Structure 1
Amino acid sequence: MTVFHRGSWPSPARTFLLIHGAGLGSWCWRYLEPRLKMRGHCVLTVDLPIEDLTAGAAAYARVCEDALRQARMPGGVVVVAASMAGLVAPLIDHHDVIRTVYVDAVLPVPGTALADRREDVFSERYFDDFLPRLATTPGGLTRWPAAAAVEAWFGHCDPLTARWAASKVRGQSPKVFTETTPLAAWPDGPLTYIRCSDSPTLNSDWQDRAASELLGVEPVVMDSDHSPFLSHPERLAALLHRAVQETPDRRSVL
């Protein structure tokens, strides 16, 4: 299901396409969405088919493209990709995209699978504290237990929000991580990478290096856990609003 809301101000209206990460859904944007609308923007969210074992990054990207075509929202489109959605965003083919913002996201490298690079991409704590607790369902989906989800993703949230978010976590097909990325080459266009400094899941050295080598930008460092859209939605909304003020004529950083 696609859910979208229009902002109330006509200018400088942009459409923010918000793409959730692994195990999450459109519900995770509930605090960020109204803050973007208050700044005059439109918001489009999607629920990726993460429980479909046959769906990979290309299928996720098609869901996003279909949502954009059906919604016909005004203004240029700013794609916001959180975590796993970093594997999806560069595959989106839509003429209205004016900037892509990666929020504590993993990034694809053409010709490789993320699973083959995981020792470089993920943190030591991820391997020591979180990965051993990752469960696999009889149907082949992976799922984080609530306590592990809170520690890995929602550490800056208030306890009530953290428990609510952990209760909403869905099963995740591993295909998007194990497949060779369908990305042949990085597309042109303005890019922003936001690194969350208190995120325990990703390797910050890799993030800084990947932002520079793959995106051609220096990361914006935000004091946050892995899910600033839940823990620090006002600060994230301000960063995203600032991003749309950038002239979309080349790759740049906030």
Structure 2
Amino acid sequence: MATYVLIHGAGSDARYWHRVVPLLHTEGHRVVLPELPVDDDAAGLAEYADAVVAAVDGSPGTDGDLVVVAQSMAGFTAPLVCGRLPVRLLVLVAAMVPAPGESPGDWWANTGFAEARAELDRSEGRDPAAGFDPLVTFFHDVPAEVTAEAMAQAPRGQSDTPFAKPWPLDRWPDVPTRFLLGRQDRFFPAAFQRRVVRERLGFAPDEMDSGHLPALSRPEELVRRLEAYRTQAGLR
């Protein structure tokens, strides 16, 4: 039995994982769902990591191998947790990959995100200058009923605070790491992610057919991938 720690992305909450959790429970694993203080202007990356550690420490029965799964911006938080918890495996899903000393705010220009996103939009017939529409960018492959349920929830704001300070680590943690991208991701294009992961982590990412939100659009496939990573790593 493993303990999966599922960390949501920016402007989101732990409900993002609601289609994944029962599938992991069916496999016999425990799940910890930290709630990051994304709408708190007093909270930065350090406080985000504190929230994850507190959630794990406050969850009874979280023995067994610890697997941390980070979605999107949580790629900045998850490595900080690895220095404070006995993490056996780190899985990044459609995630940002920080460089030492880089702030989340600088990540966008440093990686060439805007150019990559505009190129993808043009190649798929969308106007790069159009305003951001989450239904187009995030929910295009999410089932209609799941999208409707998500849209019915009160929106959660994202503070700018965690984007301001540099990522404090001088290197990637010494924890086995896997990266899973979505081939139909309209936010972090697949070609862009392949380049960034190779440049920053030194390996080729794995791929699945999904957009930016695979926990909502392809939960069964996502759990199969997570379980495969776990068994490949020799974890319980």
TM normalised by structure 1 equals: 0.81
Moved more, 187-196 or 169-178: 169-178
1:137-187 CA-to-partner distances (Å, cap 9, x unmatched) read: xxxxxxxxxxx2222222111122112213333100122223222233211
Higher relative contact order (CA 8 A, sep 6+): 2
Residues in 1 aligned to 2:193 and 2:234: alpha-carbon distance in whole angstroms:
23
The 1:27–1:117 alpha-carbon spacing in structure 2 relative to 1, beyond 3 Å, is closer
User: Would you say the 8 A contact 1:104–1:196 is kept in 2?
Assistant: yes
The 1:95–1:200 alpha-carbon spacing in structure 2 relative to 1, beyond 3 Å, is same
Moved more, 112-121 or 171-180: 112-121
The match for 1:83 is 72
The 1:241–1:177 alpha-carbon spacing in structure 2 relative to 1, beyond 3 Å, is same
The match for 2:10 is 22
The match for 2:216 is 230
Structure 2 spans left out of the alignment, 5+ residues:
none
Counterparts of 1:151-166 in structure 2, within 5 Å, are 151-166=136-151
Equivalent pairs, count = 222
The match for 1:74 is 63
Q: CA deviation at 1:208?
A: 1.2
1:54 is paired with a residue whose SS is coil
- RMSD of aligned C-alpha atoms? 2.1
Q: CA deviation at 1:205?
A: 3.1
Q: Which of 175, 185, 197 is residue 199 of structure 1 equivalent to?
A: 185
The match for 1:189 is 175
Counterparts of 1:72-151 in structure 2, within 5 Å, are 72=60, 73-92=62-81, 93-119=83-109, 120-122=112-114, 123-124=117-118, 125=121, 128=128, 132-133=131-132, 148-151=133-136
Structure 1 spans left out of the alignment, 5+ residues:
1-12, 134-147, 250-254
1:128 is paired with a residue whose SS is coil
The 1:127–1:42 alpha-carbon spacing in structure 2 relative to 1, beyond 3 Å, is farther
Q: Which amino acid aligns with 2:196?
A: A
